[in-house]
Amino acid sequence: MTNNNSNINRRNFIRLSGITGTGLILGLSGKASAVATVANLSNAADAFELGAFIMINKNGEITLFNSKPEIGQGTFQSIPALMAEELEVSLDKVIIKQTGGEKKYGFMQFAGGSMSIRSEYHNLRKVGAAAREMLLKAASTHWNVPVSECYASEATIIHKPSGKKLGYGELAEAATKLEVPKSPTLKDPKDFKILGKPSARPDIPLKVNGTAQFGIDASVPGMVYASIERCPVFHSKLVSFDATAAKKVKGVIAVETVERKHEVYKTTGVAVIAESYWAAVQGRKALIVTWDNDGHDTFNSKNFEQSLRDAAKKETGAVAHQQGDFDNAFAKAPTKLEAFYETPVVSHSPIEPMNCLASFTEGNKLEIWTSTQVPGSLVTDFAKEYNIPVENMKVHTLFNGGGFGRRLYPDYVHEAVQLTKKIGKPVKAIWTREDDTQQGPFRPMTFSAMKGALSADGKAIAFQHKVIAPTLDMKKDYDKSKSDETMTEGISEQKYEIEHMKNLYVHHYMPVPLAAWRAVTSTTLAFSHECFIDEMAHAAKKDGMTFRLEMLTKDSDTKNVLKKLKEVSNWDKPLPAGWGRGVAQYEFFAGQGGYVIEVSKKGTGIKIEKVYAVIDLGTVVNPDMVRAQVEGAATMALTAAIKNGITFDKGKTVQTNYHNNPLVRINEMPKVEVHILANGGAKIKGVGEPGLPPFAPALCNAIFAATGKRIRRLPFDINKIV
């Protein structure tokens, strides 16, 4: 099995092509074959969404095309599984290929926003079901028997009464000549063989024997390597460089300027190109570069954080959401609380550093091999930017050595493309870990000014979450009268029934490259939001679970998540002395998850004893993979809660590599017990992100319960709590 697109002889392949949501287009692509193309488009405007997701060779070989990059979240199994289930084939008997942004696979060729299953669950099942129905019809016609007497199983159509069999390969050609069913019958979920069952991922054997090809592993003949020196002070300008010594390093063949483009952040760096990556790195060390810092070298975290605190006091902010009369209710309430929460800037730090191999060749052709979350826009945006016809673009979407949002941004692809255009050879540009740690883009911090009020009988009656933060679009001239949905993500979507609410956003410009990070702003806002709810619970003399459930009189997924957490964690069971438990949940664009965490005092620090997670999905495709995603999200959340984070001084990132920008290691990570809510329903929720936001607040609420110490600033040192 391979995720490479190479070595396919497209001749004699029968192709069954799907169109999202509306039907199928099929074609027989062979030189002597009569091509029968039948389009059943209910809506011509959907034609651009055409895809070619299933390919059946005459010899029976079946290829399923996966339009969602594999970044560790398991789409290499879960996306083809949707088709395989309906097509009645086993996943271990098919070839899975990653799409490369080709138009026929549609505009959803990206991995982000926990969207993959949500966007494809129905569409790709339909594609598989339509193909199955056509193969059934082809067989029944061949045998001259009613189609109702035939069934599909293991890539074979079987005539029940006679036991006659025909393989898909034998039927594929005839099937392509049939009309595509407009609304194929989907299988009853009770008959599912793959979906909803814990299934092995077909990429895992490749990932344990070293054969999985990541972006960094790509190579082509004549390829050279690049390492790029970028301005250490953000926004500083390249004045001049002396490459004399760099060019003397054995293996160095060229030194070129190169632009880094990350949204509005654009800077010029100096690339050293060499016959080996090691030589490029040595050459880069020998460069003498002069930068004009132009006043940008005074920026530092300490002052910036103070300016956020000042802004919280001075600025009213734009209204993000309003209900009831918060100001009046808060003013009159018998019990009032206020608290200020702070979170850090953090890095994505996937273990595979940013890298891209690009080859620009004669005839204005561009080929790209990379780890990316966005193959679709790589094709369309780069074609536009570099004035290359879309049909001259070829993107190879390789396995991503981690994404976490970082690979939504193709700044590193731009660099390689510019360099191959400049020197006329295929160039593989690889960032060092130091580049990755220092250059960003980073998840911004959010600071939160919280206000809450309780009635005399301890009920939450007024609530305010005021967010003070930069925006992800990094615009300096942001219109401060407007709120920003991304930076106030989730704070107005919680299901707690609080009558008076006014949420606010105060924009504050930060001069560093910023980006979405796994679960985006919910990763910081859930901390302030759900810890403050806990503060209100404490003021109301109630435990966090009871207080929350009392605010949830109506049925909701939030209520279900909390009730499930209560049950699986034995919430009411007394804990040993010195222990404490905390709860938190968060609902946001990607979905919904929650935790109960139990901790104990250990010397001056805290030991995490138990972690119970609940994720609400509605529908689950691969429960084992969901558990893995939540285990991973918890790990990433723990790192963001207790490790350094990123800080700035003199206009630069202070941290450089994993020694001073550490990640949680195996000895620091407790076991996570994951429970999945998948009780059906129309709504399918995301998997990759929802396990992240509620982790830190559940942990900090547990620490408060164990120690009485309220943590209002991340990161904190888990070994020095008391």
Partner 1 sequence: MIQLNINDKVYEVDASADMPLLWAIRDLVGLTGTKFGCGMAQCGACTVHVNGSPVRSCSFPVAAAAGKKITTIEGMNEKIGEAVKKAWIELQVPQCGYCQSGQIMSATALLKSKPHPTDADIDAAMQGNLCRCGTYQRIRSAIHRAAEMI
Binding site for partner 1 (CB under 8 A): 70-74, 200-201, 203-214, 216-217, 219, 225, 250, 276-278, 349-353, 399-404, 430, 432-434, 624-625, 628-629, 631-636, 657-659, 663-667, 669, 671-672
How far is C-alpha 599 from the chain's CA centre? 29
Q: Which is nearer to partner 1, 236 or 373 (CB)?
A: 373
3-state SS of 330-360? HHHCCEEEEEEEECCEECCCCCCCCEEEEEE
CA distance 297 to 292: 10
Q: Which is nearer to partner 1, 551 or 634 (CB)?
A: 634
Which residue type sits at 52?
Answer: A
Determine contact, residues 640/442, Cβ cutoff 8 Å.
no
Q: Which is nearer to partner 1, 202 or 544 (CB)?
A: 202
Tell me the angle at which helices 168-176 and 116-143 cross, rounded to the nearest 10 degrees. Answer: 90
The minimum distance between CB 641 and partner 1, in angstroms, equals: 13
Give residues with Cβ within 8 angstroms of 409, minimum separation 6.
262, 263, 441, 515
Q: Which residues pair with 614 in a beta bridge?
A: 594, 675
The minimum distance between CB 208 and partner 1, in angstroms, equals: 5
The minimum distance between CB 632 and partner 1, in angstroms, equals: 3
The sheet with strand 23-29 has its strands ordered as 38-39, 23-29, 13-19, 50-57, 62-66, 94-98
Determine contact, residues 84/91, Cβ cutoff 8 Å.
yes
Strand locations in 559-690, DSSP E?
A: 579-588, 591-602, 605-616, 648-649, 652-653, 672-677
Q: Which is nearer to partner 1, 102 or 217 (CB)?
A: 217
The minimum distance between CB 211 and partner 1, in angstroms, equals: 7
CA distance 86 to 74: 19
The minimum distance between CB 401 and partner 1, in angstroms, equals: 3
Q: Which is nearer to partner 1, 358 or 461 (CB)?
A: 358
The minimum distance between CB 129 and partner 1, in angstroms, equals: 28
Q: Which is nearer to partner 1, 366 or 634 (CB)?
A: 634
Strand locations in 263-385, DSSP E?
A: 265-274, 288-292, 318-323, 335-342, 355-361, 365-370
How far is C-alpha 62 from the chain's CA centre? 29
The minimum distance between CB 666 and partner 1, in angstroms, equals: 4
The minimum distance between CB 344 and partner 1, in angstroms, equals: 17
Give residues with Cβ within 8 angstroms of 336, minimum separation 6.
330, 451, 452, 453
The minimum distance between CB 276 and partner 1, in angstroms, equals: 5
Q: Which is nearer to partner 1, 568 or 669 (CB)?
A: 669
Q: Which is nearer to partner 1, 442 or 505 (CB)?
A: 442
Q: Which is nearer to partner 1, 366 or 633 (CB)?
A: 633
Q: Which is nearer to partner 1, 258 or 274 (CB)?
A: 274
Give residues with Cβ within 8 angstroms of 306, minimum separation 6.
none
The minimum distance between CB 214 and partner 1, in angstroms, equals: 6
The minimum distance between CB 349 and partner 1, in angstroms, equals: 6
Residue 604, judged by CB atoms within 10 A of its CB (0-12, 13-18, 19+), counts as exposed
The minimum distance between CB 609 and partner 1, in angstroms, equals: 14
CA distance 469 to 344: 11
Q: Which is nearer to partner 1, 74 or 686 (CB)?
A: 74
Q: Which is nearer to partner 1, 297 or 624 (CB)?
A: 624
Helix/strand/coil percentages in the chain, nearest 5 = 30, 25, 40
The minimum distance between CB 97 and partner 1, in angstroms, equals: 17
Report the SS3 class of residue 506: strand
CA distance 154 to 88: 6
The minimum distance between CB 192 and partner 1, in angstroms, equals: 19
End-to-end alpha-carbon separation of the chain, Å?
53
**CA distances for 524 relative to 444, 611, 689, angstroms:** 9, 19, 13
Q: Which is nearer to partner 1, 462 or 636 (CB)?
A: 636
**Token pair belonging to 457:** 């009988």
Report the SS3 class of residue 432: coil
**Token pair belonging to 456:** 């005399």
Q: Which is nearer to partner 1, 108 or 206 (CB)?
A: 206
